[in-house]
Structure 1
Amino acid sequence: MPYQKLTDTELLDLLRNDDEQAFRALYERYWYKMYVVAHRKLRRKEVAEELAQELFVMLWQKRDSLKILNLPAFLGITLKNLMVDYIRRNILEEHYLDQLRLFFPVETFTTTETVQLNDLTEAIQNTLAQLPEKTREVFILRRFEQLSIREIAQRLELSEKAIEYHLSRSTSFLRQNLRDFVAVWVVFFLCP
């Protein structure tokens, strides 16, 4: 069957019946278009690729339950939501990195200290990025926004025990992955 000649509706019907070839045809038809939209908005190749990929993973995973009347509109709206979530997460992370920079006023540092601070900031950012999304969000809300465990639980609609678990997990992970920067932390916290 020449899948490329089928309409979106026909391909979606086949997709609902777990037809991988139909999925592949939809993927080939729309992935690059979705990538271009994401890249144009976010101007980051890797992120655009990741979001376009995530969009199609979601399409495959929810193929049984999706009621799609207009596939291009559905893909566009879903991609827009993925981009908004990505931007929201990164605005939070950038906000917290700015807060970290305020905590360590750079103008009082020597060149070496500035380089160490930049290395530390980059290491923190990279390590936070490795955490699962919910764990990272809990850590950021607790450590940078200084919300209480109860406030975080209410905001994220999780139990306080779940928040404590995420905090314990993130703290342990950060401690393990940032142990090379202990000396830098000591300099910044203990030296005037």
Structure 2
Amino acid sequence: MSATKSNSNKLLLEEFKNGNQKAFRKLFDLFWEPMFVKAKAIVMDNGIAKDIVQDIWVSLWQKREDLEIRNFEAYVYKSVNYGCFKYLRDNKFSAAQLQVIESLELISKSNVENQHNLDQTQFVIEKSLTGLPPRCQQIFRLSRMEAISNEEIASRLGISKRSVENQMSIALKSIRENLTLTQSSLTSLIIFATLL
């Protein structure tokens, strides 16, 4: 971002904090679409992405006088991440899915950092599943999210217990690989950020 654009955004932010609706509208026009694109990429649903972004803007206006924002762009993008992860946590994952995460030994003591990690992990698991064949997804969800035994799944689907086990192995391998890839990407990003 150029210094001129950065200074312009700082001035808009100051005016917005003072209740200037035109400044708020200008910030909205600058950032709404990229925020929406980011949210849509995460939740993969236009309506939900619009709702998440709209809630962020409503909250920004309501809390404008109390907000301590140094970098508006970073703040709104972080808000999009949080809003999407919160949506996915509240609407996509059941208690059974949380057990899957526990079985992968990814949950430790409850604190803010771990909650953030849990949200990211849940997101990676769901994304991993959507990349698998439909039958593999179905078997994984029946086993880990509905706690149905391999024998019962095999009986329901008219396949062998061995086929169920193979499909579960494929699903778990995909999840582990995506979690490892995400972790290494985050580590690289942190190292890169410290070098700046």
TM-score band, normalised by shorter chain: 0.3 to 0.5
TM-score (norm 2): 0.45
**Structure number with bigger Rg:** 1
TM-score (norm 1): 0.46
